[in-house]
Amino acid sequence: MYISKERLLQLEKLQEKIKIQFSDVNILNQAFIHPSLTNEKDCPHQDNNQRLEFLGDAVLELVISEYLYKNYNFLNEGQMTKIRALTVCEPSLAKAARQLGLGDYLILGKGEENTGGRQKSSILADTLEALIGAIYVDKNYGTAYDFIISILEMVILKSVEGEWDTDYKTALQEFLQKSDADRVLYRVTKETGPDHDKVFYVDVVWKNEVLGTGVGKSKKQAEQQAAKAALEKIKGQ
């Protein structure tokens, strides 16, 4: 597809924003060509962004999986699966796409343009996946990895904390208070690593007995891991 000078300037601004300079700007442009345009113009499907979206979806899942595996060794398979799903879901991707202003770069068919396609969450999420696919094709996996983590790292962190917050601490409190109202205490026993990448070690204590120990990237995570260990110990007795 022909790229006008105006469009080239627009894409140059996008490259500055995402801090990635493409070798082939045509690939970047294709990431923003919505199927509604090619359908209206009766163009081949290779001209729109769906194939890049397909590839980007796979790269995205691999990157999030690798990041969780390397950085959260206290998560089990089921927890990693749940957190990955929360991270790559449509609302999360659409929010990241809005923060990058990706809707401004879309090329839509008239029908989709007239019905507010630039702000539709489904279209924005798909476009972000197509952009990831384009970065992978034009650059490499490492560049795609860095880009994905730069825009979704906070989502991952909040998803991890949400996973713990909805589970073990509350369950432990409710379980113990069925028999005794003594307070459950969480004590940080050790901190390791630099300030920007600390690891916390926490004991959960009840009636002066250590019921479990947890490790996490934040105190919240470590407390939830300790509560999980305590529940497993109590229920295993």
What tens digit of pLDDT does each residue of 114-135 get? 888 888 888 999 999 999 999 9
Q: Residue 177: which CATH number?
A: 3.30.160.20
Catalytic residue ranges: 57, 129
For residues 44 and 152, state if they share a domain: yes
Q: What is the pLDDT of residue 1?
A: 63
22/95 same-domain check = yes
Mean pLDDT of 19-29: 96
Domain count, the chain: 2
Confidence of residue 45 (pLDDT cuts 50, 70, 90): low
What is the mean pLDDT of the segment spanning 51-61?
Answer: 97
Strand-by-strand arrangement of the 209-216 sheet: 184-192, 199-206, 209-216
Domain co-membership, 81 together with 175: no
Domain with 177, as residue range(s), is 168-236
**What CATH number did the domain enclosing 151 receive?**
1.10.1520.10
Say which range, 25-34, 42-51, 104-113, 189-198, has the weakest mean pLDDT.
Answer: 42-51
Q: Is 1 exposed, middle or buried (0-12, 13-18, 19+ CB in 10 A)?
A: middle
Q: Which of 139, 160, 181 is the last residue of a domain?
A: 160
Question: pLDDT digit string (tens) for 161-174?
Answer: 776 555 678 888 88
The 3-state DSSP class for residue 20 equals: coil
Residues 61, 67, 70, 74, CA torsion sign:
negative
Let me know whether 43 and 104 are in one domain.
yes
67 and 108 co-located in one domain:
yes
Q: Are residues 196 and 116 in the same domain?
A: no
Same domain, 135 and 176: no
pLDDT digits (tens, 9 = 90+) for 64-106: 999 999 999 888 898 899 899 989 988 899 999 999 999 999 9
